[in-house]
Structure formats: structure tokens, C-alpha cells
Amino acid sequence: MSLSQVLQKRIIFQQYKNWYVLDDEFYWDIKTLSNTIFKYLDSNINIPVIFCSICEANNIISDLGDEEDEYLRFASGIYWRELGIIFIFRFSEYIPLIETLFHEFRHVMQDLNPDFRHHFECDKKLPYQERITEIDAFQFAKEKTNEYLTSESFKKVDL
């Protein structure tokens, strides 16, 4: 089953390109959020982003034929490499949401880089905080979030 077939079975509260909101408690404008993120990324990565509960993400993952994962309960978001989808679970606060999106998009960028990709496999054996992929993604997200927070764009945002 394709992602579009799986999403047809669900209520989509907002959609902009391949970004989908499946949670009625998502308060942000998806188009503005997407445009903000891509303004600060050096590339225009075309990957689905789904804002939903962890339970809903597991259902989507299962419907797409992959195995659900228990550890999602601790995550704010995740780049599901096997399916090529970013899931975002925590989105009530704007700045942490922006930072989570930058973090997950960094994982996509890492995965697209043939010189970096091997770290995903090597890192599996390490504790989360010691993984090269995570150290790099946290640093990238912090830098991009700070860049956004000091911009004129942020000063105009009505939070």
C-alpha cells in the first residue's frame, strides 16, 4: 500500500504539498511552517512530513508494511529511514517544533550523504547521546533554530 492510500483512510486536518496534519490539536499553519523550515535549509528535500500521535504513526508504519517500534514513545519526532517519512509527535510549542523539524531534516540530509550514511548503522550500538548522527543533528538544529530566532521573520511571527 502506498502512503497516499494509507492517508486516504485518515482524517487530514491540514495539508500543504506532502506535509500532513492528522491531529486536531495542531494549531499552526502548515504552509507557513513548511516555508519557514525550507527558508533555512540549504536544500529543498522532498519528503513527507506527518504530524500525528505516536499511536497513529505506528498504525501508518504498520499499514505501510514495516514493523512498529516501541521506543517512539520517548520521541518528539523521528525520521523513519526505511519508509522515507518524517513523523512529528510533539507540536504544541512553536520553537521546540521548529527545532525538532530541523533535527529530523538533518537526519534526512545525513542519509542522503553517501559519506555520512554509514553512521546510521554504526551508531545503533551506541547510547543515543553518543551517536554521531544525533550529535550532528542536535548541533544543526540548534544552529538553524538560533538563525531563525534572530531573523526578521521570527520577529513578525504571532505566537
Q: Where are the domains of the chain?
A: 3-155
Task: Tell me the percentage of the chain whose pLDDT exceeds 90.
Answer: 75
Residue 42: predicted pLDDT: 79
- Spell out where the chain has E strands: 14-16, 19-21, 49-51, 77-80, 85-88
Task: Tell me the percentage of the chain whose pLDDT exceeds 70.
Answer: 92
The whole-chain average pLDDT of the chain stands at 91
CB 21 within 8 A of CB 13: yes
CA distance 67 to 151: 41
Residue 114: predicted pLDDT: 92
Please count the CA atoms within 13 angstroms of the CA of 36 that sit on its side-chain side. Answer: 25
Residue 80: predicted pLDDT: 92
Please count the CA atoms within 13 angstroms of the CA of 41 that sit on its side-chain side. Answer: 23
Task: Read off the pLDDT of each residue in 116-129 and give the average, rounded to a whole number.
Answer: 90
Of residues 117, 109, 136, 111, the one with CA closest to residue 43: 109
Q: Using 50, 70 and 90 to split pLDDT, how confident is the model at 73? A: low
Q: Using 50, 70 and 90 to split pLDDT, how confident is the model at 72? A: low
**pLDDT of 27 strictly over 90:** yes
Residue 155: predicted pLDDT: 65
CA distance 103 to 126: 19
pTM over 0.85: yes
Task: Read off the pLDDT of each residue in 78-95 and give the average, rounded to a whole number.
Answer: 94
**pLDDT of 74 strictly over 90:** no
**pLDDT of 71 strictly over 70:** no
CB 14 within 8 A of CB 26: yes
CA 151 vs. chain centroid, Å, equals 22
CB 19 within 8 A of CB 30: yes
